[in-house]
Amino acid sequence: MKKIAICSGSFDPITKGHVDIISRAADVFDAVVVAILTNSKKEPLFSVEERQAQIHEATQSLANVEVDAFEGLLMTYAREKQASAIIRGLRAVSDFEYEMQVAAMNKHIAPEIETFFMMTNNAYSYLSSSIVKEAAKYQTNVDDLVPPGVSKALREKFADQ
Ligand code: ADP
């Protein structure tokens, strides 16, 4: 049976840290679904449609990656998608505690689905969507940190500030 993994997150916006995790997951699994969580508590900078288009563009060279969005429980969505794994990226130790809690709850909800943690690429260990937004807001060049389409979109978003 085809092994499907889900890379979930807010991706507001997608960074090169995310792309690194997604492409490594795509090397290991038959198919990877990048799933944007739409009911996040956070007020997003980019709409779901904008984020979906940005992820699509950033992963277009990866034939077994698809982009989608979901609302509600990740495990319900994962079952719908017939996924066998959830992939999460780990950066600093600070990610660990929260991720462990979520993984434990997800295991409780859907014992048949495994959560896999992938260590960040060292080059991106301090990279987050929020730090990128903060930098871009003050006209800092973030070309090294995000896909080209995102860099352009950030410049446009903050052009009038
Ligand atoms: P969430 O709001 O669910 O944390 P994010 O979009 O911030 O959504 O992150 C989605 C996933 O990508 C998480 O597993 C997160 O740990 C991982 N991630 C984010 N940035 C990086 C990075 N620079 N390197 C590795 N993994 C990352």
- Residues 121-145 have pLDDT tens digits of 999 999 999 999 999 999 999 999 9
Would the CB of 54 count as within 6 Å of ligand 1?
no
Query: What pLDDT score was predicted for residue 95?
Result: 86
Query: Would the pLDDT of 160 be above 90?
Result: no
> Residue 91 catalytic?
yes
Query: Would the pLDDT of 161 be above 90?
Result: no
DSSP state of 88: E
Question: Ligand 1 mean position to 98 CA, how many Å?
Answer: 12
Q: Which residue has the higher pLDDT, 92 or 140?
A: 140
Following DSSP, what letter does each residue of 109-121 receive, concatenated?
H-TTSEEEEEEPP
Following DSSP, what letter does each residue of 11-37 receive, concatenated?
-TT--HHHHHHHHHHHHHSSEEEEEEE
Peptide bond before residue 13 is cis, with ω within 30 degrees of 0: yes
Would the CB of 127 count as within 6 Å of ligand 1?
yes
Helix (H, G, I), strand (E, B) or coil at 52: helix
Query: Would the pLDDT of 107 be above 90?
Result: yes
High-pLDDT (> 70) share of the chain, %:
99
Quote the pTM value.
0.95
User: Are residues 48 and 20 in contact, defined by beta-carbon separation less than 8 angstroms?
Assistant: no
Query: Would the pLDDT of 40 be above 80?
Result: no
CB atoms under 10 Å from CB of 5, counted, come to 25
pLDDT digit string, tens, across residues 68-89? 999 999 999 999 999 999 999 9
Would the CB of 124 count as within 6 Å of ligand 1?
yes
User: Are residues 126 and 97 in contact, defined by beta-carbon separation less than 8 angstroms?
Assistant: no
- Amino acid occupying residue 62: L
Q: What is the mean pLDDT of residues 105-129?
A: 96
> Residue 61 catalytic?
no
Would the CB of 91 count as within 6 Å of ligand 1?
yes
DSSP state of 81: T
Query: Would the pLDDT of 155 be above 80?
Result: yes
List 8, 51, 88, 129, catalytic entry:
129
Question: Ligand 1 mean position to 111 CA, how many Å?
Answer: 23
Helix (H, G, I), strand (E, B) or coil at 148: helix
